[in-house]
């Protein structure tokens, strides 16, 4: 039997083989497993995390038998309390617009871990940084990791051919028809072991025009900010690298529902934090009232005009 690779047969998906944006990162199967890797590498027994973060993070910390300690944030997305010296703390680059905060916190906390799930283009900081590229691009899975310490073990390679139906359905049939498949794929990440990123996800990442995507996001962000800066409760810094969304904070309720009815879909960051965050905390307030407007590379200035028209009709 021949030992060389299979040659010929039907055509496969094209891959241009470009390097991933984060050269030198560890390529894993998900962002949550990148956090698991960091916890194991540093043998972390206690971890401070913000109330205002994805509940998936709590699950990861608990799965690793690590004690979960919470802190609140203020309107500048900075911790409201001074955390213990030498403690391991997790901080978020919220919406991809909080890089200045990360720089400040890096000077205060030597054991800082950065959740860059919402800030794909940011440089790594602290003892570990992790990324979830599927938040920015049409990918089935994948996580990128920078960690000063490395685990002395290898991981089985993942497969992703069974995780792309939501992407294919959206392409052919639109987002509504692919939503159930999307939720099913999201659920598949629960309790998934750490694995090496699949060959399919690597190939798809090699086809992404990273700079073009970044430019489109920044242009759409600036366009919305120009029109919404006077009504947005958030004071957004102009010193950002590339946003995930345009975070609009309004006291008025019902705006998200009006947008959804008009087929402008906005998630809530994050369902479930009311279980841990104090009722009167800023974390609870922003979770209830923040509307993350879509600005990604699929859209143009004309699309942003539609968003603004529907938004102004609602408020």
Identify whether 188 is part of a domain: no
Identify whether 72 is part of a domain: no
Does this model's pTM top 0.85? Answer: yes
In this predicted structure, the answer to whether residue 155 has a pLDDT above a threshold of 80 is yes
Identify whether 156 is part of a domain: no
Our CA angle for 297, 251, 94, nearest 5°, is 40
Q: What is the mean predicted confidence (pLDDT) over 198-208? A: 93
| Top-confidence residue, 239 or 226 | 226
Cβ-count burial 267-288 (b if 16+ within 10 Å, e if not): eebbeebeeebeeebbbbbbbe
Report the C-alpha gap between 229 and 173 in whole angstroms: 35
Identify whether 235 is part of a domain: yes
Domain range enclosing 219: 210-314
Res. 8 pLDDT band, cuts 50 70 90: confident
In this predicted structure, the answer to whether residue 18 has a pLDDT above a threshold of 80 is no
Predicted pLDDT at 2:
66
For residues 131 and 96, is the Cβ–Cβ distance under 8 A? Answer: no
Identify whether 231 is part of a domain: yes
In this predicted structure, the answer to whether residue 226 has a pLDDT above a threshold of 90 is yes
For residues 36 and 60, is the Cβ–Cβ distance under 8 A? Answer: yes
- For 265-308, how does the pLDDT look when each residue is reduced to its tens digit (9 = 90+)? 999 999 899 999 999 999 999 999 999 999 999 999 999 999 99
Token representation of residue 94? 């919220």
| Top-confidence residue, 10 or 242 | 242
Identify whether 280 is part of a domain: yes
**Which residue shows structure tokens 């529907």?**
310
- For 80-94, how does the pLDDT look when each residue is reduced to its tens digit (9 = 90+)? 999 999 999 999 999
In this predicted structure, the answer to whether residue 17 has a pLDDT above a threshold of 80 is no
In this predicted structure, the answer to whether residue 1 has a pLDDT above a threshold of 70 is no
Report the C-alpha gap between 211 and 80 in whole angstroms: 35
On average, the pLDDT of the chain sits at 94
Pairing between β-strand 128-131 and β-strand 143-147 as defined by DSSP bridges: antiparallel
Give me the CATH number covering residue 218.
3.90.1150.10
Identify whether 109 is part of a domain: no
Identify whether 262 is part of a domain: yes
Total of domains in the chain: 1
For residues 97 and 247, is the Cβ–Cβ distance under 8 A? Answer: yes
CB atoms closer than 10 angstroms to residue 106: 15
High-pLDDT (> 90) share of the chain, %: 85
Token representation of residue 258? 């009006």
Res. 6 pLDDT band, cuts 50 70 90: confident
**Which residue shows structure tokens 């309720």?**
253
Report the C-alpha gap between 114 and 128 in whole angstroms: 6
């Amino acid at each position: 039997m021949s030992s060389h690779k299979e040659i010929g047969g039907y055509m496969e998906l094209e891959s241009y083989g470009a390097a991933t944006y984060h050269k030198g990162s560890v390529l894993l199967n998900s962002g949550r497993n990148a956090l698991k890797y960091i916890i194991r590498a540093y043998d972390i027994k206690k971890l401070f995390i913000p109330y205002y973060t994805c509940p998936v993070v709590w699950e990861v910390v608990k799965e690793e038998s690590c004690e979960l300690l919470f802190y609140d944030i203020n309107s500048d997305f900075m911790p409201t309390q001074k955390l213990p010296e030498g403690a391991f703390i997790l901080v978020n680059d919220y919406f991809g617009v909080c890089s200045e905060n990360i720089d400040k916190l890096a000077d205060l906390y030597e054991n800082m871990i950065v959740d860059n799930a919402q800030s794909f283009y940011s440089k790594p900081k602290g003892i570990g940084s992790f990324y979830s590229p599927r938040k920015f691009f049409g990918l089935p899975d994948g996580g990128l990791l920078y960690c000063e310490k490395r685990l002395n073990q290898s991981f089985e390679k993942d497969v992703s051919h069974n995780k792309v139906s939501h992407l294919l359905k959206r392409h052919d049939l639109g987002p509504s028809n692919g939503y159930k498949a999307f939720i099913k794929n999201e659920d598949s990440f629960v309790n998934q072991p750490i694995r090496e990123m699949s060959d399919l996800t690597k190939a798809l990442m090699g086809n992404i025009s990273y700079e073009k995507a970044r430019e489109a996001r920044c242009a759409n962000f600036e366009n919305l900010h120009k029109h919404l800066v006077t009504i947005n409760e958030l004071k957004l810094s102009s010193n950002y690298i590339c946003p995930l969304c345009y975070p609009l904070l309004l006291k008025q309720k019902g705006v998200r529902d009006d947008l959804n009815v008009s087929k402008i879909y906005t998630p809530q960051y994050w369902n479930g934090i009311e279980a841990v965050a104090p009722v009167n905390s800023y974390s609870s307030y922003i979770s209830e009232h923040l509307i993350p407007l879509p600005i990604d590379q699929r859209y143009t200035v004309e699309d942003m005009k539609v968003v603004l028209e529907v938004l102004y009709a609602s408020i």
